[in-house]
Amino acid sequence: MTISATMIVRDEAVFLPACLASIRPLVDEIVLVDTGSTDASIEIARDFGARVLDFPWCDDFSAARNHAIAHAIGDWLLYIDADERIRPCDKSALLDELAPADLLCATVRFRPRTGFTTYPEYRLIRRDDRIRFRGAMHETFLPDLRRLAEAGEGRIGTCSLCIDHVGYDGDQSHKFERNLKLLAKQIAADPTRPYLRWHLGSIQRDLGQIAEAAATWRIGADLARQAAVKRQDHALCAIELAKLALLEGADPSAWIEQAETLHPRNWMALWLRGHARLAADDLAGAEPIFTRLGAVDPETVLEPMAYDARIFGAAALAMMGDAAFRLGAYRDSAAWFARAEARAPGELEFRAKRLLAASRA
């Protein structure tokens, strides 16, 4: 059994060496589609033994990805981007996980950015002409997979592979113009998908267009309410509107309730509810929420969506400590920071705050 890595790149010389170094021990070939690089990306790829194909960029991620997988010869296809890295793993163990004849796809543990939890991502597919990407942006092959699975022609499983995405670390402004163009194209093709409105609103927020972002998220929240089939990512627009309400000193309750209705076990919605109670100086109401969040180890979280790890564990306990200190409940504050320190013994900030609160008490 063989594995082909398929990639599309353009001017990724900064990221590419670390990515290729991480996948080379795992795959039998690397098929890299270049969409117009002017830096050293092509030379770097060839130095790693990749087969490089030229493909003129046509504002369509699916077209480029499908060109890559059409030229791959492995039994399994791993699609990966230059700003991602595979954590070291045992190739023989992975091949055992991919061995079942009825397996069409295996999800991996995917960390979308540094400091976030992981979620299952569809990244390994069996080479099959019936499985292709769709969508100019936020491209996916899930419609083909689900169609085959529903027809009894295979199933979707899991594997132990873990991929870290580092491309969202730092300034993203260089991608805004391209992403806005592609999002407009994808929204025109799929106007009822709430996730696209969440992404568009996030770019508008990062551009400082807060009113426009709020309006976009409201459209997304309305689409989510109207959707016949609810998905976890349908809660994203309501969550952003709840965050915005808290920042503006408004009541976020309605948006939090919508998020919890669309995704009942959404950790961020729970954190926002706790945050709202702290904003109202309701320590007693916030206590069970942050106790629950504090008991979660973010490294073990594998949910349908990723969360900022700072809403869990020691950080959640420390948030209660900060709130108690602000309200003059110094003894309680010291106790919360002591719990945070026990969860993260190397964090000097928690120790310092515990000692300060204890001295005030």
**Residue 103: per-residue pLDDT:** 97
Considering the domain architecture, whether residues 185 and 69 belong to the same structural domain is answered as no
Query: Of 211, 241, 264, which one is at a domain's C-terminal end?
Result: 264
Residue 288 identity (one-letter amino acid): P
CB contact at 8 A, 71 and 46:
no
Query: In DSSP terms, which residues pair with 107 in a beta bridge?
Result: 122, 158
CATH code for the domain of 58: 3.90.550.10
**Residue 352: per-residue pLDDT:** 96
**Residue 53: per-residue pLDDT:** 98
**Residue 178: per-residue pLDDT:** 87
CB contact at 8 A, 33 and 7:
yes
CATH code for the domain of 275: 1.25.40.10
Considering the domain architecture, whether residues 238 and 110 belong to the same structural domain is answered as no
**Residue 49: per-residue pLDDT:** 97
**Residue 175: per-residue pLDDT:** 83
Query: Of 135, 165, 195, which one is at a domain's C-terminal end?
Result: 165
CA within 13 Å, CB half, 320: 30
Angle, vertex CA 273, rays to CA 272 and CA 274, nearest 5: 90
Considering the domain architecture, whether residues 256 and 270 belong to the same structural domain is answered as no
Query: Of 118, 150, 165, which one is at a domain's C-terminal end?
Result: 165
Considering the domain architecture, whether residues 61 and 8 belong to the same structural domain is answered as yes
Considering the domain architecture, whether residues 86 and 200 belong to the same structural domain is answered as no
Considering the domain architecture, whether residues 156 and 246 belong to the same structural domain is answered as no
What number of other Cβ atoms are within 10 A of residue 22's Cβ? 18
Tell me which residues of the chain have a pLDDT lower than 70: none
Considering the domain architecture, whether residues 230 and 335 belong to the same structural domain is answered as no
Considering the domain architecture, whether residues 44 and 143 belong to the same structural domain is answered as yes
Closest CA to 315 of 265, 357, 353: 353
> How far apart (Å, rounded) are the C-alpha atoms in residues 212 and 250?
18
Counted domains in the chain: 3
Quickly list H helices, the chain. Answer: 16-23, 41-47, 61-70, 91-98, 142-150, 176-189, 194-206, 210-226, 236-247, 253-262, 267-279, 283-294, 313-326, 330-343, 348-360
Closest CA to 340 of 361, 328, 327, 325: 325
**Is the four-CA dihedral 313, 318, 324, 327 of positive or negative sign?**
negative
Considering the domain architecture, whether residues 232 and 196 belong to the same structural domain is answered as yes
Considering the domain architecture, whether residues 178 and 128 belong to the same structural domain is answered as no
Range of the domain at 235: 171-264
**CB-count burial class (<10 Å; 0-12, 13-18, 19+) for 120:** middle
Give, for 76, the enclosing helix (H) or strand (E).
Answer: strand 76-79
CATH code for the domain of 182: 1.25.40
Considering the domain architecture, whether residues 8 and 78 belong to the same structural domain is answered as yes
> How far apart (Å, rounded) are the C-alpha atoms in residues 9 and 167?
13
Reading the block at residue 119, the tokens are: 């979620």
Considering the domain architecture, whether residues 91 and 217 belong to the same structural domain is answered as no
